[in-house]
Amino acid sequence: MKITLLGTGTPMPNPDRAGAATLLESGTQRVLVDAGRGVVMRLSAAGVLPVMLNGVIITHLHSDHITDLNDVITTQWIMSSGPTPLRIYGPIGIKRVVDGILSSLEPDISYRLEHHQDSLTWRPTVSVTEVAPGDTFQLDELHVTVGRTDHQPVEPTVGYRIHHDDKSVVFGGDGLPCPELDALCSGSDVYVQTVMRDDLVRQVPNKRFLDILDYHSTVEQAAQTAARGGVKTLVMTHYIPGMQRGQEDEWREIAARHFSGTIVLGDDLTSTTW
């Protein structure tokens, strides 16, 4: 299995960090987790195009996790050689989001169908499955378990544990530690989690920014979740506030006080293989 951090940024625009998105590759399987700003460009840089994806899974419906889902849908459609479905999984509400995206793309769809009458004869083919905690599903060779996460008042939000052969990885998305996330992580090889430096956030005298303190895992909390779950590797991403270059060791050291396994973090396109 290989994890590539496609986007490690926040909703605040940053030329060096795309929006929240992660790529899982396992054998011939490729899955995109979340679809934040710039995701298709980062996919391309990682050597993967939307047409090569086995599926897309979405953790929750905050805009910074879905803002470029439209680009994934359009690019997969225009690069396909036939009406191959793009499979999208997400919490209750994802179907309404995708329906809205397709509605907004309707002028573009009609233009392309009219212009390419001999080579593009099908509309975007999207298969949407809404999932809930406790669900399991098969994504080709990958077995996926869905678990509840705590990102309230955002509801519902879900995490995913993906198995292939004898390996597994958990995508926690955003949110706080909770018993359901602990259960999802238990015994997994790798745990991928959004992390926040609350000490840095508290230095910004902005009420709206300070509000995020109550629904994101701190670096310490993510490390503690990894330790409780006995996972081998903690992958930190979606850094809040944006991690500055040269601060990597500082963030890693904070996590290492609570977790003795491997800790992975860094710029967009940072990857780890196991």
Strands 136-139 and 126-131: unpaired
Tokens of 139: 């994504």
Please give the Cα distance from 240 to 166 (Å, whole number).
Answer: 33
**64 is annotated as an active-site residue:** yes
Please confirm whether the linkage preceding 156 is cis (ω < 30° from 0).
Answer: yes
Closest CA to 73 of 61, 59, 91, 55: 55
Q: How many residues does the chain have?
A: 274
Please give the Cα distance from 115 to 233 (Å, whole number).
Answer: 49
Q: Considering 16, 34, 64, 267, which one is annotated as catalytic?
A: 64
Across the beta sheet with 262-264, what order do the strands follow?
136-139, 142-148, 158-164, 167-171, 190-196, 233-240, 262-264
Burial 208-242 (b: 16+ CB within 10 A, else e): eeeebeebbbbbbbbbbbbbebebebbbbbbbbbb
Q: Interior CA angle at 268 toward 266 and 273, to 5°?
A: 70
Residues forming the active site: 64
